């Protein structure tokens, strides 16, 4: 999808509810289709501060968007502020807290699952 060249009318892309949200952050800025989008919705997934840090690193490629929605993920308050400061088009909304298993390992889930 990110490398699509035959979708000239595509302006809104939803990469929502993604279990691989951090991985998507690593590539979403580089696809040719990003330049024609007005809205990129990456909400309801498993994005962490690690993925959001990549978005910050490539903020120039995303500032043309009218809206970048990263709400309902696993971002810290500090990261939400950093994103909003770097890109005024970002919607951070509410964020989820990771669950911890018996070994204190964080566990992330998408908003809509089985």
Predicted confidence (pLDDT) per residue in 65-76, tens digit: 999 999 999 999
Rounded to whole angstroms, the Cα distance separating 85 from 83 reads 5
pLDDT digits over 14-59, tens only?
A: 999 999 999 999 999 998 899 999 999 999 999 999 999 999 999 9
Q: What's the CATH code, domain 12-107?
A: 3.80.10.10
**pLDDT > 90? residue 63:** yes
Domain limits of the chain? 12-107
Going by the DSSP 8-state scheme, the letter that residue 86 receives in this structure is: H
Q: Are 39 and 15 in contact (CB under 8 A)?
A: no
Q: What is the DSSP string of 2-60?
A: TT-SS-TT--EEE--S-TTHHHHHHHTTTSGGGGG-SEEE--SS---HHHHHHHHHTGG
pLDDT above 80 for 3: no
Note the pTM of the prediction, 2 decimals.
0.91
């Amino acid at each position: 999808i990110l490398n699509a060249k035959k979708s000239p009318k595509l302006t809104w892309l939803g990469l929502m509810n993604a279990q691989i949200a951090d991985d998507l952050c690593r590539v979403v800025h580089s696809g040719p289709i990003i330049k024609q989008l007005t809205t990129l919705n990456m909400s309801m997934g498993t994005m962490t501060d690690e993925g959001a840090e990549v978005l910050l690193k490539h903020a120039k490629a995303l500032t043309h968007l009218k809206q970048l929605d990263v709400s309902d993920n696993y971002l810290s308050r500090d990261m939400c502020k950093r994103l909003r400061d770097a890109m005024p088009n970002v919607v951070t909304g509410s964020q989820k807290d990771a669950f911890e298993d018996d070994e204190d390992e964080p566990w992330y889930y998408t908003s809509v699952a089985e």
